Amino acid sequence: TIKADALIMVTARQPNDELYQALNQRSESESHILFRSLRRIGDCEAPAIIAAAVYSGHRYAQELDAGPDIPCRYE
């Protein structure tokens, strides 16, 4: 237990994706020159705790240039 006079919650309910939206609005020919792909990760995709944002960045870096997942077929 910690005694405190006030508690300030540092949280967000909406993703912070202003940069993603600005880059996504560029014309296709212009964006192709700037980057090969544009993805949202971390708090840009969905607000969460810092550990989740760090994991999201780590996972993206590990999967960079990897081929798409092949779904498992259940028959």
**Does any domain span residue 13?**
no
Query: Of how many residues is the chain composed?
Result: 75
User: What is the C-alpha to C-alpha distance for residues 50 and 56, in angstroms, rounded to an integer?
Assistant: 10
Residue 58 lies in a domain: yes
> What's the rounded Cα separation, in Å, for the pair 56 and 39?
11
Nearby residues of 56 by Cβ (< 8 Å), 6 or more positions away: 41, 42, 45
Name the residue range of residue 58's domain: 18-63
Structural domain includes residue 1: no
Residue 36 lies in a domain: yes
Q: Give a yes or no: residue 72 inside a domain.
A: no
From residue 20, alpha-carbon distances to 16, 39, 74 in Å are 9, 8, 36
Q: How many domains does the chain have?
A: 1
Is residue 30 assigned to a domain? yes
The token pair that represents 66 in the structure block: 């990897």
Specify if 59 maps to a domain: yes
Digit-by-digit pLDDT tens for the chain (75 residues) are 889 999 887 776 788 889 888 888 886 667 667 777 788 888 888 888 889 989 999 998 988 877 666 666 666
